[in-house]
Amino acid sequence: MRSLRSRPETVLLAALAALLAFAAPVSAQVGTEVLAQQSLRPYWYVFIAYSLAWLLLVGWMFSIGRRMRGLEHGGTGDRDA
């Protein structure tokens, strides 16, 4: 098994992915009575905005990691420039 030391992107990816789960319970701090009186639409907007942010960042990291692995295994690393 390769050590975590040689795969820092794995550690960072895991940490960033955990944030997605953390961003979800927006409504946790609001009581159910208040929730029942409000539309859930703004909560969805907040949830989508935070989820998209972390998905884009995790996707970017994953993309760099994939290109790095490609190079390390003798490929071209999908050179984009």
Partner 1 sequence: MSLTRIRWMAMVLGVLGVAGVLVLHWLVFFWVGTERTMGIVQRIFYVHVPSAWVTFLAFGITALCGAAYLWLRDERLDWAAQSAAEGGLVFGAIMLTSGPLWAAYAWGTPWTWEPRLTLTLLMWFVFLGYFLVRASAEDRLAGKRMAAVIGVLGALLIPLVHVSVLWFPSLHPQPVVLNIDEGPTLDSDMLITLMVGLLAFTLIFFSIVIFRYGLEHLRYQHALETRDQPRAA
Helix, strand, coil % in the chain, rounded to nearest 5: 75, 0, 25
Does residue 35 touch partner 1 according to CB under 8 A?
no
Toward partner 1, which CB reaches closer, 1 or 25? 25
Handedness of CA 14, 19, 22, 24 (dihedral sign): negative
Q: Can you give the binding site for partner 1, defined by CB under 8 A?
A: 8-9, 11-12, 15-16, 19, 22-23, 25-26, 28-29, 41-43, 45-46, 48-50, 52-53, 56-57, 60-61, 64, 67-68, 71-72, 77, 79-81
